[in-house]
A and B are shown apart, each in its own frame.
Chain A
Amino acid sequence: MHPAFSIIIFTTLSGLGYGLAAWLGLGLLDPAQPATKVAHVAALALIAGGLVSSTLHLGNPQRAWRAFSQWRSSWLSREGVLAIVTFMPLTWSAYLAVFESRWDPVIGIIGTALCAVTVFSTSMIYASLKSVDSWHTPWTPASYLGFAAASGLAALAAFGAAGGASPLWPLAGGAAVLVLIAWAIKHGWRKQAVRPPLSTPESATGLGHIGKVRQLEPPHMTDNYLIREMGFRVARKHARKLWLIALVMGCGVPAALLAGLAVFPEPAGVASVLVALMAVLSLMVGMLVERWLFFAEARHAVMNYYR
């Protein structure tokens, strides 16, 4: 599948934003701290930025409002509706933190739950497509949720360090553990992704009863929308290297940094803020590469007609 830049940015940024907002909703940071107020605003900005980016690839973005109408059948529509609904408790929580320096558990927890459901529905857009084997599995929502939770808690640890949260080690240690869990889920996802394909050139043409099917001539001399959209190959060539980069940047570096922060806590020190920030940045780079691979490595059933 073609890894559209806008969709990769959208899924990773909004995942981070929802993850951060979800942890903030649990009231883990002191709402009186300026860093906590910034965290609330940052979470909203990340989510909004992701949503705007996701409309960039539309052919007719001016009609995007119509996408709220088909929540009964479409996960894309559900995601749109949930994104808007989730904004309400999140904005309310942010308002309370920024202007009244307080945390309301009811609104906070409603926000946390809605964040989880929204990330879940984003992932179901992909997981519901039977035409893409590797996506069509419960591992897909699991890994989206895992990455959102891990990056969110890592970001929370960074804001906690900046706000002098004490003790810091549960946040940093928890984030390190979640990073490991997220990548363990992703590892499970990659293992299932290599299962034999559901459809083959033989089943696609129905000619398997005669023998082995091979494309003799494509239907067009030049490429077409289907090949551009469903048959992207650039990253596949380097899939192994990219996977290693994703593992090092997304798993090894941030897990080590966060674990270090948990073991040698230095509350409110500039150093701990920097270390946590580096962990978040590195994790985001790793997640972007992972998301790129999620698309670029996915094989679409239609490509059976072009083999």
Chain B
Amino acid sequence: MTSLPSEPTGKKLGLVIDLDVCVGCHACVVACKEWNTGGYGAALSDQQPYGAEVSGAWLNRVHSYEVTPDRRDGVVIGEAGDARVVHFPKSCLHCDDAPCVTVCPTGASYKREEDGIVLVDEDKCIGCGLCAWSCPYGAREMDLAAGVMKKCTLCVDRIYNETLEEVDRVPSCVRTCPTNARHFGDLADPASEVSRMVAERGGFDLMPEQGTRPVNKYLPPRPRTPLAASMAPAADDTTDATGFFGWVDRMLDRI
């Protein structure tokens, strides 16, 4: 059924992604592809995997942006030192008001009442692609070999999987991230670790104006000391030399 749950979902399982910590290594991208090509539903196919025009379905991608501070008058400051690079992982945000679910004509797309995970039942999907059009985040990609829609499952086949060790019952991307930039938890519970992080760090929604009410949150990059402040002092500046080196400095100056 592609109507959204009428009541708020019991849990809101999702990810919190720390843009301050991500180094853009793409390990989560590969881990996601690896897990999901052998897990839930049809394999995540690639087209021409060894050819010149490689392409394929991925459920998680890492973009890299350059953010240049604006001056108040709106003129962009061009100094290279002031721009900062932000690596930006993006997968399905498991939106509360998921447009991808309501547009689906077949009932293949649905949002689970118990935990809010948005999934595709591939046996019902006709591959019309309308859900991918409706998602403003580009979180859905068609599997061109199977002709069905693919999206992040929040690793539903890991997080409840009792055959895995407890430490592995988190999404593959979270488990893999070498810098701990991705966190998994229940965002409906204000006491959960992820909710506390969001509260402390000012976690935000992507494109709130689209009215999708995403569950996943992003943590902003922390303020950074200006590049100039952390530069090594000039080699001939000895004004703050003290003690023995200060004495040597003064003696040598006299000669």
Contact = CB atoms under 8 A, between A and B. Distances in A.
B235 to A, nearest CB: 33
Interface stretch (B52-60, B172-180, B185-193): B52-60
A74 B102 contact: yes
Contacts of A64: 126
Given A210-B69, A302-B135, A77 B105 contact: yes
Given A58-B127, A63-B106, A76-B128, A1 B147 contact: no
A130 B211 contact: yes
Interface in B203-226: 204-211, 218, 220-221
Contacts of B137: 204, 301-302, 305
B141 A129 contact: no
Interface string A269-307: 000000000000000000000000000000011101100
B222 to A, nearest CB: 11
A225 B132 contact: yes
A177 interface: no
A163 interface: no
Interface string B141-154: 11110111100000
Contact of A301 (B29, B105, B207): B207
Contact of B65 (A77, A215, A220): A215
Interface in A51-97: 57-61, 63-64, 66-70, 72-77, 80
A199 interface: yes
B3 A216 contact: no
Given A58-B127, A212-B76, A217-B64, A206 B218 contact: yes
Interface stretch (B84-92, B156-164, B245-253): B84-92
Given A57-B129, A225-B141, A203 B207 contact: yes
A131 B67 contact: no
A129 B103 CA distance: 9
A77 B1 CA distance: 12
Contacts, number: 204
Contact of A211 (B69, B147, B210): B69
A180 B101 CA distance: 38
Given A216-B85, A225-B142, A230-B133, A204 B107 contact: no
A125 interface: yes
B205 A206 contact: yes
Contacts of A128: 103
B136 interface: yes
B126 A215 contact: no
Contacts of A130: 99, 134, 136, 210-211
B61 interface: yes
A304 to B, nearest CB: 8
A279 B176 CA distance: 64
B125 interface: yes
Nearest to B132: A229
Interface string B94-130: 0000010111111110000000000000001111111
B195 interface: no
A61 B126 contact: yes
B126 A74 contact: no
Interface in A197-256: 198-199, 201, 203-207, 209-226, 229-230
A211 B125 contact: no
B66 interface: yes
Contacts of B220: 206-207, 209-210
A132 interface: yes
B210 A217 contact: no
B196 interface: no
Given A203-B209, A301-B136, A59 B125 contact: yes
Contacts of B69: 210-212
B28 to A, nearest CB: 11
B63 interface: yes
Interface string A30-57: 0000000000000000000000000001
